[in-house]
Amino acid sequence: MSQALPTSALEPCLRAVWQRTQRKHISAGLLALCRWAIPLFLLGMTIDWLSYMPTAGRAVILAVIVGVSLYQAWRHGWRQIRRFNATRTALQVEQQHGGLESLLVTAVQFRESKMAHGTSKELIDATCSQAEGTVGELKPRKIVNFNNLKTPLYIAAGLVGLVLVFAVINSPFLAAGLARIFNPWTEIAYPTKTQLDLGAKDLVVKEGDSAKIIIGVSGDVPETASFYVRTGDGDPREIELPVTDGNCEYTIASASRDFSYRIKAGDARSDWYQVRVIAAPRIENVQVGLEFPSYLERENETVEALTLTVPQHTRLHWEITLDRPIREAVLNRDGKEPLPLTVSEDGRQLVIKEEVKASRGYSFSWVEKERGFDFTSPRYFLQVASDQEPRVELTSPESNLVAMIGRPLNLTARIQDDHGIGSTRVAYRVNQRDEATVDLNLSAQAGQGDQPVDWDYR
């Protein structure tokens, strides 16, 4: 195996060609980056100016500009960037120069001792000597020509010049465009002849309340402004507002649901802003346990209603579940002081226990947890059926009669009560004596039917 030859002019020449080649590829990539990035930026800025893109839209524009420009830079030059390799560079020189018949490649391989064992040292020395003589005539400038970059350079220079002219004519507009596109989260707006002052932009309103959105208009003030209202994903609705004394206003008579809005006056327009309506807590579920008075001999019941009729002295056990958390709650009862209620830890449940004695209307007042707005529920009514006196009617005999000893006496009575009959007795008096009574046992059928009584009324 031959020994490595001393350092010569071959490797420095090849390195010079490689360095110039890398500079060409880097320059080609940069020129492609300019040729694509500048037009895409101008197009994106125009789209943003015409449609006033939100943050997400501007982020997409930035991603397209960066992605497409880097891809074109890689495609036109940067993908050719390589680490130095003497054999590959020698092959490149031979392809560009011509007529060398692999002389440089062979010499490089001889110097790297890559020839097969037994190769003649004289052949190696002769080949390397001939290559040394040849590289002295090679010029890296001629081998790696930058002439094919002239057209891309002129195009890139023209685009850069266009941006500079734009900067001279309207630098605030260009600065706003650069800030909005390359920092999508910024709140900078494009300069306009008309200026808008929205004051409070995003609003939070209590359901049912009225509110005003006041917009200040200055600079080139038009006679009217266009106010756009959009609910959900629907199309915006345009409302024309007069501009008076530099202001226009939109009144929300009674807020009922969330919406977004924007204002356009002259050449100025705002972003979309949100009006959030905090809805009143609503009863999601209700369970009312009814514990009837013992004399009624009725089983306890559970109903799902807030307007109901119950017997007097019934004990009520409310369990109310709301659709959203609240901070505090009060029971409003007609003719009584408001009763503070205990709220569960999650803020969604109320438990109330009370014995009702009289009919009344009632409602709930509560303070929702998120914003502290106070609301009052619809009005409900509790009807209490009072315990009426039993009604007794003697239907037979229809008039006075004469009773005889040892003969039966038939009496028929109709007895009614709103909650049922507990006990029944007959009261009588003989010849001005003291009054006495006889108990009657009711049958299983609500006290109907014949009832024989051993009644000695003498």
Query: Is the domain of 270 the same as that of 295?
Result: no
Query: Is the domain of 88 the same as that of 162?
Result: yes
According to DSSP, the β-strands at 273-278 and 203-206 are: parallel
450 in any annotated domain = no
451 in any annotated domain = no
Number of domains in the chain: 4
Confidence bin at 5 (pLDDT 50/70/90):
very low
Query: Is the domain of 163 the same as that of 139?
Result: yes
Element (H, E) at 128: helix 121-135
Query: Is the domain of 214 the same as that of 360?
Result: no
231 in any annotated domain = yes
CB contact burial 204-224 (16+ within 10 A = b; e otherwise):
bbbeeeebebebebeeebeee
Segment 333-361, tens digit of pLDDT: 888 889 899 899 999 999 888 888 888 89
Which of 385, 405, 420 is the last residue in one of the domains?
385
Q: Across-strand partners of 262?
A: 228
pLDDT for 6 = 46
CATH number, residue 326: 2.60.40.10
pLDDT at 450 over 60: no
4 in any annotated domain = no
Average pLDDT estimate for 31-42? 95
Which of 158, 182, 206 is the last residue in one of the domains?
182
pLDDT for 424 = 77
Query: Is the domain of 92 the same as that of 22?
Result: yes
Query: Is the domain of 74 the same as that of 161?
Result: yes
Query: Is the domain of 312 the same as that of 342?
Result: yes
The mean pLDDT value of the chain amounts to 82
> How many helices (H) and strands (E) would you count in the chain?
7, 23
Average pLDDT estimate for 369-389? 86
Query: Is the domain of 49 the same as that of 157?
Result: yes
Query: Is the domain of 86 the same as that of 209?
Result: no
Query: Is the domain of 106 the same as that of 227?
Result: no
DSSP 353-413: EEE--S-EEEEEEEEETTT--EEEPPPEEEEEE--PPPEEEEEESSS-----TTS----EE
The residue among 374, 385, 377, 379 whose CA lies nearest residue 362 is 379
pLDDT for 329 = 92
Query: Is the domain of 123 the same as that of 80?
Result: yes
pLDDT at 238 over 70: yes
434 in any annotated domain = yes
189 in any annotated domain = no
Going by the DSSP 8-state scheme, the letter that residue 64 receives in this structure is: H
What is the CB neighbour count within 10 angstroms for residue 455?
13
pLDDT at 173 over 90: yes
pTM above 0.75, yes or no: no
pLDDT at 7 over 60: no
CB contact at 8 A, 229 and 261: yes
pLDDT at 301 over 80: yes
453 in any annotated domain = no
Segment 39-94, tens digit of pLDDT: 999 999 999 988 888 889 999 999 999 999 999 999 998 988 888 776 676 666 66
Least confident of 119-128, 170-179, 316-325, 415-424: 119-128
Q: What's the domain range around 106?
A: 10-182
Segment 248-266, tens digit of pLDDT: 999 989 998 999 999 999 9
Query: Is the domain of 244 the same as that of 347?
Result: no
pLDDT at 205 over 80: yes
The residue among 333, 334, 331 whose CA lies nearest residue 342 is 331
**Angle 64-66-68 from CA coordinates, rounded to 5°:** 60
Omega of the bond leading into 311 within 30 degrees of 0 (cis) = no
- Give every CB contact of residue 19 below 8 A, 6+ residues apart in sequence: none
456 in any annotated domain = no
Confidence bin at 99 (pLDDT 50/70/90):
low
Which of 348, 364, 385 is the last residue in one of the domains?
385
CB contact at 8 A, 358 and 372: no
Confidence bin at 451 (pLDDT 50/70/90):
low
